[in-house]
Amino acid sequence: MQLSEDNSLLATHKTRHVDLVTRLKRFNELTKPRQTALLLFTGIGTYIASTGFQKIIWNHLAFLVGMTYLTVSGTTILNMVFDRDIDKEMGRTKKRPIPQGIVHVKEATAVGLALIILGIAGAAYWLNTITAMVLFAGTFFDLPIYTIWLKRRHRYSIIFGGIAGGMPALAGRTAVIGRIDLIGILLVVFISTWVPIHILTLAIVYQDDYDKVGVPMWPVQVGNDATLRFIAFSSVIAALTILYTAVLFNVYLPVLLLFSVSSTWLIYLCLKNLYDPTISRNWTIFKFASIYMSMAFFFLPFHP
């Protein structure tokens, strides 16, 4: 009898353990891990570029990564909460945990808010007030401005989403120097103009989904031609901005050449797609844009 009871308790314990692991995986899905990882990478790259490899304070960098992760993850979860109605109708998003009903709205809201509060408060305590304000600005531009106010009203909402996306990189800068400077602003401009390249190439492919749910993405509101022109324009501004930033960081000459070649290639792809658009090239731009962003923040720290 005792053995039977022990086995029953063990089985119950294992079930609870599996349930906890499953729940954590579901909440991890709500944070959009790939997107969050890329945003964290921009903050890390900027931090190291601002300190130099020899002057990295590793526990300080760890606090930056941790607080940025909490704030970005919480913001993304709340985005999922607000967009649950349209996510349910779109083929690309209908399998997310909230539309499927496997994560409750109240639970997701509580977790999202808690992560944001912890992230911003932790940044103010362990980093500095300016960095905490920058992380708060990221949440503010993303949630009230982009998601709640503009996303379902105007195509230019993507610009404010881009500004929100630039805040982790700016946080990486302010965590080191304690203020907002020209380099920090340029990095926000770079990411803000990179975002349309990344998002709108995807929106062209999935424009029927956006049209169905009434989200006025560029392809839906003004057509593919105008969207491709905006993508090409954004690629030029993004390329010029990151090149100027690299010069201000005084990166090594081979790195500057790499930036120049990759930036030229991005502009070429976007212009080529403008005059001879194909789905294949559209996907190539989408994929290369991610590589381009990662490369930029990986190589910015390579300077004297």
Structural domain contains residue 207: yes
Q: Count of domains in the chain?
A: 2
Task: Supply the pLDDT for residue 47.
Answer: 98
The radius of gyration of the chain from alpha carbons, rounded to an integer in Å, stands at: 21
186 shares a domain with 59: no
Torsion of CA 195, 291, 286, 161, to 10 degrees: -10
174 shares a domain with 218: no
Which structural domain range is residue 293 located in? 181-304
Taking 70 as the pLDDT cut, the residues of the chain under it are: 1-18
35 shares a domain with 168: yes
Structural domain contains residue 87: yes
The DSSP call for residue 179 is: S
Q: What's the burial of 176, exposed, middle or buried (CB within 10 Å: 0-12/13-18/19+)?
A: buried
Give 237-292 as a DSSP string.
HHHHHHHHHHHHHT--HHHHHHHHHHHHHHHHHHHHHHHS--HHHHHHHHHHHHHH
Structural domain contains residue 240: yes
Domain boundary among 125, 144, 178: 178
Domain boundary among 160, 178, 196: 178
The DSSP call for residue 55 is: G
Question: pLDDT per residue over 134-184, tens digit each?
Answer: 999 999 999 999 999 999 999 999 999 999 999 999 999 999 999 999 999
47 shares a domain with 63: yes
**What values do phi and psi take at 18, rounded to 5?**
-65, -45
| CATH at residue 130 | 1.10.357.140
Helix axes 105-126, 129-140, angle to 10 degrees: 150
**What values do phi and psi take at 76, rounded to 5?**
-65, -40
* Overall size of the chain counted in residues: 304
Structural domain contains residue 285: yes
169 shares a domain with 270: no
Gap between the Cα atoms of 221 and 207, Å rounded? 10
185 shares a domain with 165: no
Gap between the Cα atoms of 125 and 96, Å rounded? 34
218 shares a domain with 100: no
Domain boundary among 178, 202, 219: 178
Structural domain contains residue 7: no
Structural domain contains residue 3: no
172 shares a domain with 229: no
